[in-house]
C-alpha cells in the first residue's frame, strides 16, 4: 500500500525546513501572518454571509459589496495559504499523525472548492430575486466550512 509519508519526511529535509527551524522567531512570525490572513478572509466572508442572510446592509447589492471586499478576501486567502504551506514544511512529520491536521485539510479542500465553485458565483449575481435560497446556502456553507478550517487548525497544537 502506497503512503504519502515519504513526502512528509522529504519536507523536513529541505533547506526551507532548516531555515524555519533554525530561527527561533520564524515560526511564530509565520503563525502571526497566517492568523492575520485568516482574520481577513473570515472577516470579509462573515460580512458577505451576513448580507446574504439579510442581517446587515440589506439595501446594498451583494455583488457590489463583494467587489468592495474582493481585494481583502484575496489577500487574506493568499496570506493564509502561503504561510500555511511554510508552516506545514516546518512541522510535516509531526502533522502526519495528527488527526486535527487531516480534519483541517479536509475542511480546507472543501472550503476552497465551495468558495470557487459556488460562493463566488452566488455573490456575483446582480439580483438573487427568487433564488434567495442560493444566497442562504452559500452563506451557511461558507460559514461552516471556513470556521471548520479555523477551529480544526486551532486544535492542531492541542489535539492529536
- Cα-Cα-Cα-Cα torsion 61, 121, 101, 95, nearest 10 degrees, comes to -120
Please compute the mean of the pLDDT values over residues 36-56 and round it to a whole number: 96
Domain boundaries, the chain: 25-155
pLDDT of residue 29: 95
45 neighbors 73 (Cβ within 8 angstroms) = yes
- Summarised one tens digit per residue, pLDDT across range 48-87 is 999 999 999 989 999 999 999 999 999 999 999 999 999 9
Query: How far lies 77's CA from each of 63, 136, 139, 140, 152, in Å?
Result: 19, 22, 17, 19, 17
Annotate 18-34 with b (16+ C-beta within 10 A) or e (fewer).
Answer: eebeeeeeeeeebeebb
Q: What is the pLDDT of residues 98-157, one digit of tens each?
A: 999 999 999 999 999 999 999 999 988 866 665 788 889 999 999 999 999 999 999 997
CA distances from 82 to 38, 74, 89, 99, 104 (A): 11, 12, 11, 22, 15
The end-to-end CA distance of the chain, in Å, is 24
Closest CA to 34 of 93, 106, 88, 113: 88
pLDDT at residue 132 in the model:
80
| pLDDT of 18 strictly over 80 | yes
- Annotate 65-127 with three-state secondary structure: HHHHHHHHHHHHHHHHHHHHHHHHHHHHHHHHCCHHHHHHHHHHHHHHHHHHHHHHHHHCCCC
State the residue for C-alpha cell 480544526. 152
Amino acid at each position: 500500500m502506497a503512503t504519502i509519508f515519504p513526502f512528509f519526511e522529504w519536507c523536513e529535509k529541505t533547506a526551507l525546513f532548516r531555515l524555519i527551524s533554525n530561527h527561533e522567531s520564524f515560526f511564530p512570525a509565520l503563525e502571526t501572518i497566517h492568523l492575520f490572513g485568516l482574520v481577513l478572509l473570515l472577516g470579509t466572508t462573515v460580512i458577505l454571509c451576513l448580507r446574504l442572510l439579510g442581517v446587515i446592509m440589506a439595501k446594498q447589492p451583494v455583488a457590489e459589496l463583494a467587489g468592495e471586499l474582493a481585494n481583502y478576501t484575496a489577500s487574506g486567502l493568499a496570506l493564509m495559504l502561503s504561510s500555511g504551506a511554510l508552516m506545514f514544511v516546518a512541522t510535516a512529520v509531526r502533522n502526519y499523525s495528527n488527526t486535527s491536521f487531516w480534519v483541517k485539510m479536509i475542511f480546507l479542500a472543501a472550503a476552497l472548492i465551495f468558495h470557487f465553485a459556488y460562493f463566488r458565483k452566488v455573490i456575483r449575481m446582480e439580483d438573487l430575486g427568487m433564488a434567495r435560497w442560493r444566497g442562504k446556502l452559500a452563506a451557511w456553507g461558507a460559514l461552516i466550512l471556513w470556521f471548520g478550517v479555523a477551529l480544526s487548525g486551532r486544535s492542531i497544537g492541542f489535539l492529536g
